[in-house]
Structures are given as structure tokens and as C-alpha cells.
Structure 1
Amino acid sequence: MMDEFGLVVASPFKKNAASSLSIKDFEFALSFDFKWMSPVQASKVRDQAIMSSILKFENGELVLNMDADAVDIPAGFKPSEDLFREKGNVEKIMDLLITNSDLDKRDVASRINIKQDSLAGLIDAEVAALLLAHEMGCDVGDLFDVVYQRVTGISDQQ
């Protein structure tokens, strides 16, 4: 069973019966064909899908990292409003861990809590999530810098 975000990302590919789409066609489908979101939100969905490896960017096109024919989008599917709210850093790291492992959300949350407890609660959940991602070999990209700056109060501009 594919999660809601995966269904949203796969929908433009299913609609166009294509294995690759231009950025413009992908975002246009989400915002104007389906009328699910604003163009700005469609850009954020694209970025999150690339970051979580659901999409890859090849030869100037977006390519779905799964078989679109195998994706079954329920009739009348419409994403929930929750999908478009801004996620916190822990949620973003959790999404990456879920996408890049065979763990579900509950398992990832449990492992983050165990990591935090193992360090006597001296670190917050964001740092525990980063440590878990590192241990699992998951690239968290810019999220490391964001959390580092928040925790230390040191930014690149100083």
C-alpha cells in the first residue's frame, strides 16, 4: 500500500501515461489539472519527492522511481490538507528514513525515542533523528545544517 504522498507524486505520471515529465508538466498537473494545490505547493512536493528519492531528475526530466503502472490510485482520490502543511525537521528526517529503509513510521519513531533515551535525554528529537539517519547510512542533506544551526546558534553568516 502506497502512502498518500507517493500517490500524489505518481498521479501526474499516471494521468499522462508517461515514465518521465518535465518539471512544468508535473507541477501543472498537480496544480491545474487535478486542482489539488497551488503552484508553490506543487514545487514543494516536487522538491520533497526528489529529496526522499521518489523522483529523480535525469536529462532535464523528472523520473518516477517506481513503476507507475503498478500504482493503483483510488477513484476520487484527493490528498488531505495535512499533506501540505509545513513539516518539522523531525518529520522530514523520518520521511527520509522511511523512504530509504523497510521501516514504517512507528518503527522509525520508536528508534528515535530509543536513541534519545540512550543518551539520557541530553539531545532533542531532531538530533536523535539525525544520529539514527547517520547510523542507517541515510543522507539527510541540508537538514543537518538546519538542525546544527538551531542547536548551536551558529550560522554560516557569522
Structure 2
Amino acid sequence: MQNSDLQRLVESISIEYFDKPFIHEARFNHRLRTTGGRYLLNSHDIEINPKQYETFGIEAIVDIIKHELVHYHLHIEGKGYQHRDKDFKLLSEKVGAPRFCEMIPSIQGYKYTYTCKKCSQTFLRKRRVNTLKYKCSKCLGEIAITKVW
């Protein structure tokens, strides 16, 4: 997904759920680490973490966009746009915007995923493991690296 695709998606979600246009810029920001997206107060732009799309797919992005659009539309209208405000809570519930997005495993500190070749047990590790030296703790089968975040 490119920034132009994201822009069209944000505009369509804004019309569909809020009945109001989104007239500013939406873009991916690769520097976001601990958040799914953010609404910028000064420029009224929305930035989305592309790792959310890569990890969880389009459904996660739609939820994040809805959440950020709640901030956007309330701020533009001069209403309470912060998480603690009543206006924010009501509009979030109305459009089905989640309060939080799902955590990306690499943010939690796990960088490597290993799987047992015998019993399919998975192991999350922060550091790389020598697969020749270590075995599965469940069945003593061989383990192999399956994903590097």
C-alpha cells in the first residue's frame, strides 16, 4: 500500500463513518515505533505506522484510521478531542473506533520466532539462538527460525 492508497482509504472512511470530508494529508511514517498512528494538531495530518499494516493487515489499519479521524473531526469542530474527553469517548463508540491498537511483537522486545520441526511448538526470543545447540523443550525435536522481526 502506498501513501496515495492510504489517502484514498482515509477519505472514504471519513465519508462513510463520519459523513464529513477529510481534506488534509494522510501518510505512512516509518519512524513510528510504539503507536499505530497519530493525528498532528498543527497540520491536521494523520500518520500511520506501516508495520501495523504489514503485521496485522487492512483491518487493523481501518481501526487505526477511525481512531485518528475521531481526533481529527473533534479537533476541527473545537470539541474535546483527547482520550479523556466525553466527546471523544462518545464518538469513538458511535463509529466503532478502538481505544488501542494491537502491539507489534518486535515492540514487546521479541525479535525472533522459532518453531519445532516435530511438534510445531513456537518460541519467541529476544536474542538469536543456535539451532544446532538447542532443542525443543517440549519434545526435544529440532528447532528452526521461522520469522525475524
TM norm structure 2: 0.30
TM norm structure 1: 0.29
The answer to which structure has the higher helix fraction is 1
Relative contact order: is structure 1 or structure 2 higher (C-alpha 8 Å, sep ≥ 6)?
1
The answer to which structure has the higher strand fraction is 2
